[in-house]
Amino acid sequence: MMNIEDVRNHALSLPGCKEDMPYGPDWLIFRIEGKIFLHIWLEAPEPTCAVKLPPETGQALKQHYDGVRPAYHLNKTHWNDIYLEQIDETLIKQWIEQSYELVVSNLPKKLRAPYEQK
């Protein structure tokens, strides 16, 4: 099972990831080239993180897993809350990476090039 620190460390292991707290001390935000791919609300009643996924992927996950729900404070079409105590670590890491890759894929080509898989 992953905890908030595990999620943070995994996000920071991704190339070019930057962490900040623009909404105050109870939110951690992870960005690639200024674009957010992961939110962690430190005051959440249960340990969660929010990832950005294609709408059809997020919808399918919400239907299949009780631990995936529409993001509480974010656009519910694109953002999904992952309840860390209910989802396997491998899946959480996979979804964080999918969120990162989705954001990278939408960067301008010049910014995207260093992060694309060769």
87-99: average pLDDT: 97
Interatomic CA distance for residues 81 and 62, integer angstroms: 9
Give percent above pLDDT 70 in the chain. 98
Whether 40 has a pLDDT exceeding 50, the answer reads yes
Average pLDDT, the chain: 94
Which residue in 79, 77, 94, 67 sits closest to 40, CA to CA?
79
- What is the pTM for the complete model shown? 0.94
**Beta strand residue intervals within 1-118, DSSP E:** 17-20, 27-32, 35-41, 48-52, 68-70, 79-83
Predicted local distance difference test score (pLDDT) of residue 76: 85
The answer to whether residue 107 scores a pLDDT higher than 70 is yes
